[in-house]
Amino acid sequence: MPFFDPLESTFYGHCVERLLTSKDLAPLLADGIVELGPGTGRPVVEALRRSGSRVPITGYELDADSARIANRATARAELGNYTVVQGDFFAATEEPGARQHGDPADGRKAGVVDLPVGPGRDAAARRARCAIGNPPYLPAIARPVGASQLWGGHDGAHVARRVLSQEMDVVLLMIASISDPVGLVRHARAAGYRIADWSVRPIPFGRYSHQPWVSRRIGELARSGRAFFGPEGYLLAGVTWVRGSALAGAAGAADEPDEPDDVATVLRRILTAAGSATSLDESAGVDRTAGARRRVRIASGLHEVPNRPASRLSGSS
């Protein structure tokens, strides 16, 4: 079923807009961007419209219905530089037989390493030096029924790790505080990335996170220090990483790999301050209506931000 969440998808669109308007990163975007999972296509359509960017973007969407809707949205918007292809992002962007880095045991347990490998990178993927996406991040030991395309492996971060293992120069991904954010930031660092920009906002728990397989797994991850949330929800960050060797002049990109990444430290502190609940049951008494959504606040450890639609913390190095 096509995924569109008014808070999450709109926030993703804002993060893409931030990327498209970055002067520092513009040279690395000029050859095109590949997108994992456009969903309805609306976030990127809106980002392109608002930014006026002419950078070519190719989205790969597994779900046939979503791809059809996204194609309609791109045609209606008459943008000309956003194409959505139905298919597996990894099949289109990885060489056949490419080895996965990261945590193979994790992938094997979650069954994710068995994703089909296609005939090789297609033309758009060969040119692009930037990947973006709001990847599936629901953690569960088994593929959750009714939300299989939102499954991020058993810690929720498997798909994001796989994108960060592709050696793109620039990667913008949404990362969730319930899906091993610390491990993911560490993985990006080990892959040679530094954080150039980030934004973060609260997201209330929805019907997918309340599925028993998912909520149980979130509780387990919280008890082992790999998921952070409060009674009303969790935090979602849009993070732009740049590979150290890619652009010496880009913010934060020229440092040696073993130097501390201060921006990552700040982001880690914020994401782990999302809350210290260990079970979604602790949110049982919380009203999750639209009114409650508007009242959600976050304490970042820096300062408290009210949850107006556009409100979010952000920063760059």
Ligand X SMILES: C[S@@+](CC[C@H](N)C(=O)[O-])C[C@H]1O[C@@H](n2cnc3c(N)ncnc32)[C@H](O)[C@@H]1O
Token representation of residue 296: 């959600």
Residue 205 interacting with ligand X (CB under 6 A): no
- The stretch near ligand X (CB under 6 A) out of 4-12, 72-80, 97-105, 296-304 is 4-12
Residue 88 interacting with ligand X (CB under 6 A): yes
- Minimal distance, residue 92 CB to ligand X, in Å: 8
Tell me the C-alpha distance between 257 and 262, whole Å.
Answer: 12
Residue 166 interacting with ligand X (CB under 6 A): no
Token representation of residue 5: 């969440």
Tell me the C-alpha distance between 206 and 289, whole Å.
Answer: 10
Return the residue of 32, 38, 144, 153 that touches ligand X, per CB under 6 A: 38
DSSP conformation letters of 178-247: TS-HHHHHHHHHHTTEEEEEEEEEEEE--TTTTSHHHHHHHHHHHHTTS--B-SSEEEEEEEEEEETTT-
If one counts every other C-beta atom within 10 angstroms of the C-beta of residue 157, the result is 30
- The stretch near ligand X (CB under 6 A) out of 33-41, 193-201, 237-245, 258-266 is 33-41
Residue 150 interacting with ligand X (CB under 6 A): yes
Residue 144 interacting with ligand X (CB under 6 A): no
Tell me the C-alpha distance between 124 and 47, whole Å.
Answer: 20
Residue 63 interacting with ligand X (CB under 6 A): yes
Residue 209 interacting with ligand X (CB under 6 A): no
- Minimal distance, residue 105 CB to ligand X, in Å: 20
Return the residue of 7, 58, 89, 253 that touches ligand X, per CB under 6 A: 89
Residue 208 interacting with ligand X (CB under 6 A): no
Residue 153 interacting with ligand X (CB under 6 A): no
- Which positions ≥6 away from 280 have C-beta within 8 Å? 205, 209, 210, 215, 218, 219, 229
Q: Distance of CA 101 to CAs 105, 107, 166, 240, 303, Å?
A: 11, 10, 9, 20, 37
Q: Under DSSP, is residue 174 helix (H, G, I), strand (E, B) or coil?
A: strand
Residue 229 interacting with ligand X (CB under 6 A): no
Residue 39 interacting with ligand X (CB under 6 A): yes
Tell me the C-alpha distance between 136 and 36, whole Å.
Answer: 9
# binding residues, ligand X (CB under 6 A): 21
What residues pair up with 314 in beta bridges, in sequence order?
199
Residue with smallest beta-carbon separation from ligand X: 37
Closer to ligand X by Cβ: residue 62 or 185: 62
Return the residue of 21, 149, 278, 279 that touches ligand X, per CB under 6 A: 149
Residue 62 interacting with ligand X (CB under 6 A): yes
Q: For binding to ligand X (CB under 6 A), which residues are involved?
A: 3-4, 9, 12, 36-39, 43, 60-63, 66, 88-90, 134, 136, 149-150
